């Protein structure tokens, strides 16, 4: 059996070098399949093995619109459509992605250890909310010190406003953002600016509106449930071709768009008890692609099971994912700075757990979790670059009822301390758009469905989720356009001195991260941490070769005494805005970094 992915069928429409369209549809339920091109009569597809239908034709040209006709009656868009210019219910559009590749910049991906990540949402990052408008901000991001942008999901979703996790065409690029060509141009522009591109993808579920998968075949299984409905079929009858569908999707983003890394959403919700997990299969296919092209790509997962198998190498019985987000660092930090202690924060006690997160990555690494009421997690000796740390992201802002950012929840000085806490960690640092200048506007949950029953269900679900918070007002209507508009960054605020100060501080922090060897290193053995619960202070000591760094953090509202390091050390950063700094005192809510 040949497991090479270059010999597997690629779903959807692709074009050969001579311009002939190669059409592949998996529809094992169908008795007859034809393709309707630009509203003209149908052309029959040929039945092939394992439920596939195929056709090579010169009648389908790039940019033509088409639909599949199943059993002579049902006209449906292509589940592997590359473009849906008229939305999720309209016809698909044939796209020659190979033609884009000819225009790709000569670019080599950065080492993952050099990633300083900036997460953004295309629709709210700029006034126009398009890929083209993001290009205008690339010089700004480069000057900030960012080395990789992470784009929230762009797979086609209903309407024009959505976080992206309701996508229903995993291969198609959102039309309101500019479609596939505009995304390719953005990736190219990023590479020309020396920026890597991470794309957020969703393989654990498919959104509700415009989801036609069940019309074609067993893409879902009733064996498992997810918070969003039936699970994607990765291990039930018919799963081989579903697995191929998603593996080929991974390869498309890397091969055809030049994406450098994928962030796989909530892989703990992927249910797969196959002998070979779908994530391992994806990694093996990516390795095969990289060996062919000489390009480097990474797979990064969002994951809350604290199971090191997911990021262990395949040859060490792991699934081979390159890195993962660590929410537990975020939770411990937020509780330490005085944030919420309810919900998923209830398992975290603040300073003690933050110190453990610095040292051990997983806070719950085989210890009892009161929230889960069970022993949870595994110990990990994986290097620091396999973990992504942050003080806020789209989830932890947007899943609040009013979408408040750290900038409206914590003081100016505490925001600076939180930023430093992330940047001095032995993990890959990530910012959420706007935090670098203390953006005040919220990031709310928003959708633009067209199904009235679904709209009401989403509204009701949002209200029910926050019914305990009605004293704070009503949850904003996720369907309202104003909810979306409120969430757009206010770039004009950068004219204010308050925001300029924060931006300058972030630039300084990022430069220190890049230039000081001990801060740029990822050896978790070269780290020691001490904390004082009563004083609410923490001392982080890191070293790399001869270089040493001491980071003194004061999370309290009072000045605290401390003993500076002995020897030839200088202050690399003092976050305090006060001019009355005593030599042996940490100002409230501040950090001092020493290096030799």
Residue 264 in any domain: the answer is yes
Residue-wise pLDDT tens digits, 278-288: 999 999 999 99
Same domain, 500 and 587: no
Task: Tell whether the model's pLDDT for residue 579 goes beyond 90.
Answer: no
pLDDT score recorded for residue 429 = 98
Claim to verify: residue 527 and residue 465 sit in the same structural domain: no
Give the model's pLDDT for residue 461: 87
86 has binding-site annotation: no
51 domain-assigned: yes
331 is in an annotated binding site: yes
* 165 and 89 housed in the same domain: no
- What's the pLDDT tens digit per position in 517-562? 999 999 999 999 999 999 999 999 999 999 999 999 999 999 999 9
Q: Is 181 annotated for ligand binding? A: no
Degrees to nearest 5, angle at CA 464 with 462 and 469: 95
- Please check whether residues 333 and 482 belong to one and the same domain: yes
* CA of residue 264 relative to chain centroid, distance: 7
Instruction: Reply yes or no on whether the pLDDT at 271 is more than 90.
Output: yes
519 annotated to a ligand binding site: no
Q: Is 400 annotated as a binding residue?
A: no
Q: What is the CATH number of the domain that holds 52?
A: 2.60.40.10
Instruction: Mark whether 160 is an active-site residue.
Output: no
The pLDDT assigned to 373 comes to 96
Per-residue pLDDT, 235: 97
Are 331 and 467 in a shared domain? yes
Q: Residue 319 domain-assigned?
A: yes
122 is a domain residue: no
* Residue 582 CB neighbour total at 10 angstroms: 9
- Is there a catalytic annotation at residue 485? no
Give the residue-averaged pLDDT of 86-91: 97
Question: Within this chain, do residues 161 and 53 fall inside the same structural domain, yes or no?
Answer: no
Answer yes or no: do 498 and 549 share one domain: no
Query: Is 529 a known ligand-binding residue?
Result: no
- 360 and 441 co-located in one domain: yes
Q: What is the CATH number for 222?
A: 3.20.20.80
Residue 116 lies in a domain: no
- Whether 516 maps to a domain, the answer reads no
CA nearest to 589, candidates 342, 463, 329, 413:
413
- Give the count of beta carbons closer than 10 Å to the beta carbon of residue 399: 15
The reply to whether 108 falls in a domain is no
On whether the CB atoms of residues 109 and 192 are closer than 8 A, the answer is no
| Of the residues 459, 486, 510, the one at which a domain ends | 510
Q: What is the pLDDT of residues 198-251, one digit of tens each?
A: 999 999 999 999 999 999 999 999 999 888 778 999 999 999 999 999 999 999
The model's pLDDT over 23-66, given as tens digits with 9 standing for 90+, comes to 999 999 999 999 999 988 889 999 999 999 999 999 999 999 99
Query: Quick one: tokens of 452?
Result: 């009235």
274: left (phi over 0), alpha (psi -120 to 50) or beta: beta
Same domain, 366 and 452: yes
287 and 402 share a domain?
yes
**Catalytic site residue from 119, 166, 265, 404:** 265
Q: Is 398 annotated as a binding residue?
A: yes
Domain identity same for 464 and 552: no
Q: Which of 207, 194, 261, 212 is nearest to 449 (CA)?
A: 207
- Which contiguous run of DSSP H or E holds residue 551? strand 547-554
By C-alpha distance, which of 441, 454, 453, 450 is closest to 483? 441
Residues 499 and 529 placed together within one structural domain of the fold: no
Residue 43 pLDDT = 96
Domain of 16 in residue numbering reads as 5-101
Which of the listed residues 53, 85, 101 is the one where a domain comes to its end? 101
Listed residues 77, 101, 125: the one ending a domain: 101
267 is in an annotated binding site: yes
Q: CA 120, 313, 272 angle in degrees (round to 5)?
A: 75
Structural domains in the chain (count):
3
User: Of residues 302, 312, 347, 436, which has the active-site annotation?
Assistant: 302
Average pLDDT over all residues of the chain? 95
Question: CATH number for the domain including 565?
Answer: 2.60.40.1180
Residues 6+ apart with CB under 8 A from 492: none
* 498 marked among binding-site residues: no
**Does 328 show up as a binding residue in the annotation?**
yes
For helices 239-257 and 179-192, the axis angle rounded to 10 degrees is: 50
CA distance 180 to 41: 27
Q: How confident is the model at residue 470 (pLDDT cuts 50, 70, 90)?
A: low
Query: How many Cβ atoms are within 10 Å of 489's Cβ, its own excluded?
Result: 21
User: Is 282 inside a domain boundary?
Assistant: yes
């Amino acid at each position: 059996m040949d497991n090479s992915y270059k010999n597997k069928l690629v779903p959807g429409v692709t074009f050969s070098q001579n311009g002939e369209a190669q059409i592949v549809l998996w529809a094992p339920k169908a008795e007859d399949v034809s393709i309707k091109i630009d509203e003209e009569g149908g052309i029959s597809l040929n039945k092939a093995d394992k439920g596939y239908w195929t056709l090579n034709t010169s009648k389908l040209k790039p940019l033509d619109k088409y639909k599949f006709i199943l059993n002579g009656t049902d006209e449906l868009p292509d589940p592997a459509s590359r473009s849906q210019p008229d939305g999720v219910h309209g016809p698909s559009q044939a796209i020659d992605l190979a033609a884009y590749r000819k225009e790709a910049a000569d670019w080599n991906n950065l080492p993952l250890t050099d990633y300083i990540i900036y997460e953004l949402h295309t629709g709210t990052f700029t006034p126009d909310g398009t890929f083209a408008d993001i290009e205008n901000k690339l010089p700004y991001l480069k000057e900030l010190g960012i080395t990789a942008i992470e784009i929230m999901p762009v797979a086609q979703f209903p309407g024009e406003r959505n976080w992206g996790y309701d996508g229903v065409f995993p291969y198609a690029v959102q039309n309101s953002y500019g479609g596939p060509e505009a995304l390719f141009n953005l990736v190219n522009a990023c590479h020309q600016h020396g920026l890597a591109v991470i794309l957020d993808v969703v393989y654990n579920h498919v959104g509700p509106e415009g989801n036609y998968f069940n019309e074609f075949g067993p893409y879902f299984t009733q064996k498992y449930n997810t918070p969003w409905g039936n699970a994607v079929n990765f291990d039930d009858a018919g799963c081989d071709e579903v697995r191929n569908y998603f593996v080929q999707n991974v390869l498309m983003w890397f091969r055809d768009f030049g994406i450098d890394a994928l962030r796989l959403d909530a892989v703990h919700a992927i249910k797969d008890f196959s002998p070979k997990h779908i994530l391992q299969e994806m990694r093996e296919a990516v390795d095969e692609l990289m060996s062919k092209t000489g390009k480097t790509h990474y797979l990064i997962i969002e994951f809350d099971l604290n199971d090191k198998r997911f990021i262990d190498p395949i040859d060490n019985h792991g699934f081979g994912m390159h890195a993962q987000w660590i929410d537990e660092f975020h939770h411990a930090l937020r509780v330490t700075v005085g944030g919420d202690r309810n919900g998923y924060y209830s398992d975290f006690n603040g300073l003690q757990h933050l110190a453990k997160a610095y040292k051990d990555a997983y806070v719950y690494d085989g210890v009892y979790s009161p929230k889960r009421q069970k022993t949870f997690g595994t110990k990990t000796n994986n290097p620091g670059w396999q973990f992504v740390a942050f003080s806020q992201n789209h989830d932890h802002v947007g899943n609040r009822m009013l979408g408040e950012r750290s900038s409206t929840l914590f003081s100016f000085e505490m925001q600076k301390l939180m930023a430093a806490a992330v940047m001095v960690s032995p993990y890959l640092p990530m910012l959420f758009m706007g935090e670098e200048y203390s953006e005040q506007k919220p990031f709310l949950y928003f959708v633009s469905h067209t199904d009235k029953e679904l709209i009401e269900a989403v509204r009701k679900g949002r209200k029910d989720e926050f019914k305990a918070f009605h004293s704070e007002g009503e949850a904003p209507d996720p369907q309202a356009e104003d909810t979306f508009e409120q969430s757009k960054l206010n770039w004009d605020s950068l004219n204010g001195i308050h925001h300029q100060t924060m931006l300058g501080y972030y630039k300084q922090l990022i430069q220190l991260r890049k230039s000081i060897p001990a801060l740029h290193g990822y050896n978790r053995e070269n780290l020691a941490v001490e904390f004082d619960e009563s004083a609410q202070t923490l001392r982080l000591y890191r070293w790399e070769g001869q270089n040493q760094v001491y980071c003194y953090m004061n999370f309290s509202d009072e000045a605290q005494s401390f003993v500076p390091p002995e020897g030839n050390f200088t202050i690399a950063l003092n976050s305090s805005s006060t001019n009355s700094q005593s030599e042996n005192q940490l100002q409230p809510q501040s950090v001092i970094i020493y290096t030799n």
